[in-house]
Amino acid sequence: MKPCKISFCTTVMDRLPHLLQTLSQNIIDNIDYDDLEFIILDYNSSQEIFNPLYRNFRTEIESGRVKIFRTNDPLHYNMSHSRNMAFNLASGDILCNIDADNFTGKGFAAYVQRMFHFNGAIFLTTHNIKHVNNDVLGRICVRREDFQNVNGYDERMKHYGFDDFDLANRLEGLGLRKLQISKHFLSAVKHSNATRMTNFPGGKSHYDVLIRYENPYCSELILRFKNGTYSRAHIINNHIKAAIERCRNPLPLNKHFKFSIQEHKWIEGTWTESSKSLYLNFSNNNTIIKRFKNDVYQTKEQHLFYKITNPGLLEVTLFFYNQISNRNIMDENLMNKRFKVNDGGYGKGKYVTYTL
């Protein structure tokens, strides 16, 4: 087979324990593939990254098999921008995103080489693999020139999820064939959604979340953030809605995403609060919601908003907020057949290279 350099690209922001665990195993599992580099981008972690990595992987760092970079600019973790930046720093013919919590599996680099050699114009993904662990959905391998032809991950996606699905859609739009990665290579360190979203907007930065029941398939959400902004929308359970509508008029059950938002995109504004009222400002129009009890607010229409205090429900709600924000961009790209994004370039930013 024709020799091919492969880059395993990993971005990390305060996930050092996961990285130490997976990188060690991934180096061992791909030791038989010579032309392989591990690109590690420290995306402004608050904790020390290089010294622990050097203590554990001195030989690989000194040989250049493991290359470590750091950017000091980001305030929050951004999957699209961080991955674009890491891919730009890589020198491989084939670029693979390997999340910090992902194990590649034994012989993954050799597997990637074979797949691209024998299958022509393809890319590898976990997109649409049934019963796959959510923690490996970010795994994707693509030829450098194909990644450049779509201008990378869409950097308008600033939240969690669907950036990889969107990239897969756009690569297919260019005429590439999507091949699914064998499940043999798909495993990851288990962790909660709370850990997953720690450094995303809406993770540590949320102030509180209010919810109002409207009907069996619709509830209104108000997410308040510590910087004085809010996001507001009606969340729709499409399966319940379709079931109700089917009872009235027989229709096939909606098998698309279970949840969506009625407004298509979040209504965003600023908020302030007094001891008696919550003030929501949107386009110079104020909405005043009276404090009814400690964790209950009432609108002038007598609608009641309840503060979400259950940790499990709060985690699910914040996870939904992050995903729906990116999913709307993905849907927009599909609808407009927009295959090339980031008109002003991608993966930009200052960085330093850790050298000895």
Cα–Cα distances in Å, from 157 out to 42, 98, 103, 163?
Answer: 20, 19, 25, 7
pLDDT of the residue at 250: 54
Radius of gyration of the chain (CA): 22
- Could you report the per-residue pLDDT of 161-187, keeping only the tens digit for each? 899 999 999 999 999 999 999 999 999
Q: Pairing between strand 122-125 and 177-180?
A: parallel
Q: Where in the chain are the domains?
A: 6-195+334-353, 201-309
The H-assigned helical ranges of the chain are 16-29, 50-56, 58-63, 79-89, 108-119, 144-149, 163-173, 193-196, 238-248, 311-335
Query: Which of 7 and 316 is assigned the larger pLDDT?
Result: 7
How sure is the predictor about 246, in pLDDT bands with cuts at 50, 70 and 90? confident
pLDDT at residue 281 tops 60: yes
What are 137's two structure tokens? Answer: 């959905």
What are 94's two structure tokens? Answer: 């084939």
pLDDT of the residue at 205: 74
pLDDT at residue 290 tops 70: yes
pLDDT at residue 129 tops 50: yes
Assess whether the region 6-195+334-353 and the region 201-309 belong to the same CATH fold: no
CATH no. of 6-195+334-353: 3.90.550.10
pLDDT of the residue at 282: 87
CATH topology of domain 201-309: Lipocalin (2.40.128)
Task: Report, as an integer, the average pLDDT of 207-223.
Answer: 94
pLDDT of the residue at 249: 59
pLDDT of the residue at 311: 87
pLDDT at residue 197 tops 80: no
Please tell me whether the overall predicted TM-score, pTM, comes out greater than 0.75 for this model. Answer: yes
What are 38's two structure tokens? Answer: 């591990």
How sure is the predictor about 264, in pLDDT bands with cuts at 50, 70 and 90? confident
Q: Average pLDDT over the chain, rounded to whole?
A: 90
